[in-house]
Amino acid sequence: MSAIASKAMFAVGRLVQCHATLVYTQTLKAAPCFLFVRHRTTKHWNPKWKKLRKEKVMKVKLPNFNQKPEDMTPEEQRSMMRERGLERPRVWNERPIYLSCTGGIFEPYVPPEGDGKFSAISTTGAKQKVEFVQKKGSSIMAVRKMRNYEEELNLKTFAEDAREIYIKAHEALNVKNKLELRQLVTERAYPEMLHNTHNKTIHWKFIQSLEPSRVVQARCTEVITKDNVFGQLTVRFHTQQVLAVYDRFGRLLHGSEFVTKDVIEYIVFEKHLSNQYGIWRLHDKIIPTWMPPKEPSRKTFVSKVGPIDPDEVNAVQTSA
C-alpha cells in the first residue's frame, strides 16, 4: 500500500456509500481492519418508529359485495354475522289488528229539549216530530246499508231486543259478572260501566217501560277499508228503575231501594256488520246538554273516636 493511500485511511474514520458502509478502525500497533455493514434500500435506517410505521397501514378484509344473503344457508349467515361481530336481526312478524268496536259515536243524536214533557198535540211536541222526520232520511239510507249484511233487521223488533240487552247488561253489572258483561257491552263501554264500582254494592232493578222503546237514529261508517263496516242504532228508553249504591261499610251513597224514578235514556248499540259472528252490543249513552246535573253521591268518612270516659264504662257494666 502506498503512503498516500495509508494517509487517506487514517484521515477518514467512516465512509458511507450507497450499498455498504466502510468502517475503519485506527490502530497504531495492529494492521488496519475494514468492516462492511450492508443496509437495505427499502428499509429505514432508524428503527425507532418501526412500530408506528407498521400501524400506519391497516389491512381490511373487504366483504364480498356480490354475495346475496338469499343465496346463503342459515348456518353460513350465522357464521358471517358472528365473524363480523354483528347480532342476527330477528324476523319481523306483523300481527293482524282486530277492531271489534269503534272509539265513539259516528254522529251523536241530539235529543230535543224537554223530551218526555211535551205531548205530540202541543206546539213544542209537534216541532219535535217535524225535526225527527227531517233527520229520518239519513237513518233510512243507513238501515238500507245494514240490511245488505243483516237481511232480517227490523227496527221494531230490534227495539225490544235492545231493551233485553240493556236489562241483562245492568243485571250483570249488579252482580259484577264480568264475563257476561263482556258479551253484552263493547270494549269501549266496559271500562266506563265498571268505573268507580270497586268495593261498592249496587242494587238495580227494572220496573216497567212507560213508553215503547223505539229507534231514533241509525248510522253506518267504514273503518280503514270499505269492506270494514260498523253500524250503530240509537234507541230511546222511557222506563221506571230503582237504583241504590252502598259503600263497603253498607252505608247508602246514592239513590234508594224504595223510590222508583222515571228515566229517559238514549242508548247507542253497535255491531260489526262485516263480521259474520258480530252481535249487537251496548256501546255508549247520550247525555243531552240541556239535562240538569245529576244528584251527587254522598261521601262517607271514618269517624274519629274520642277518649273513653271510665265512668261511662262502669255505668254500662253496672246496668248489665
DSSP for 171-224? HHHHTT-HHHHHHHB-TTHHHHHHTT-TT-EEEEEEEEEEEEEEEEEEEEEE-S
Residues 151 and 258 in one domain: yes
DSSP 254: E
Q: Which helix (DSSP H) or strand (DSSP E) does residue 244 occupy?
A: strand 229-246
CA 102, 106, 109: angle at the middle one, nearest 5? Answer: 130
DSSP 72: S
How big is the chain, counted in residues? Answer: 320
Task: State residue 187's pLDDT score.
Answer: 93
Q: Would 97 be classed as within a structural domain? A: no
Q: Determine contact, residues 286/232, Cβ cutoff 8 Å.
A: no
Task: State residue 9's pLDDT score.
Answer: 44
Task: State residue 11's pLDDT score.
Answer: 43
Mean pLDDT check: name the lowest of 13-22, 89-98, 158-167, 288-297: 13-22
Q: Would 236 be classed as within a structural domain? A: yes
Q: Would 246 be classed as within a structural domain? A: yes
Report d(CA 291, CA 118) in Å as an integer.
Answer: 15
Report d(CA 228, CA 98) in Å as an integer.
Answer: 11
Q: Would 292 be classed as within a structural domain? A: no
The pLDDT of residue 2 is above 60 = no
State the chain's mean pLDDT as an integer. Answer: 81
How do residues 222-258 score in pLDDT, each as one tens digit? 888 888 999 999 999 999 999 999 988 888 988 889 9
Q: Which residues contact 197 (CB under 8 A, 6 or more apart)?
A: 173, 176
Mean pLDDT check: name the lowest of 1-10, 64-73, 82-91: 1-10
Report d(CA 4, CA 9) in Å as an integer.
Answer: 9
The pLDDT of residue 174 is above 70 = yes
Q: Would 78 be classed as within a structural domain? A: no
Q: Determine contact, residues 177/202, Cβ cutoff 8 Å.
A: no
Residues 15 and 147 in one domain: no
Residues 156 and 24 in one domain: no
Q: Residue 264: helix, strand or coil by DSSP?
A: strand
DSSP 225: S
Residues 40 and 183 in one domain: no
Residues 270 and 148 in one domain: yes
Task: State residue 279's pLDDT score.
Answer: 93
| Grid cell of 286 as nine digits | 247520550
Question: Which candidate, 154, 159, 201, 147, places its Cα nearest to that of 176?
Answer: 201
How do residues 180-224 score in pLDDT, each as one tens digit? 999 999 999 999 999 989 889 999 999 999 999 999 999 999 888
How do residues 264-285 score in pLDDT, each as one tens digit? 999 999 999 998 899 999 999 9
Domain that includes residue 30, residue range: 3-53
Q: Would 261 be classed as within a structural domain? A: yes
Residues 49 and 130 in one domain: no
Residues 242 and 150 in one domain: yes
Residues 170 and 28 in one domain: no
Name beta bridge partners: 22: 15, 36
Distance from CA of residue 231 to its chain's centroid? 24
Residues 252 and 138 in one domain: yes
Here the CATH number for the domain that contains residue 244 is: 3.10.450.240
Q: Would 98 be classed as within a structural domain? A: no
Residues 139 and 16 in one domain: no
Pairing between β-strand 229-246 and β-strand 281-286 as defined by DSSP bridges: unpaired
Q: Would 46 be classed as within a structural domain? A: yes
* Count of domains observed in the chain: 2
pLDDT tier at 14 (50, 70, 90 boundaries)?
Answer: very low
How do residues 121-164 score in pLDDT, each as one tens digit? 666 666 767 776 777 888 889 999 999 999 889 998 999 999 99
Residues 10 and 141 in one domain: no
Report d(CA 118, CA 121) in Å as an integer.
Answer: 8
Strand order across the 14-16 sheet: 14-16, 20-25, 33-38
Mean pLDDT check: name the lowest of 168-177, 241-250, 293-302: 293-302
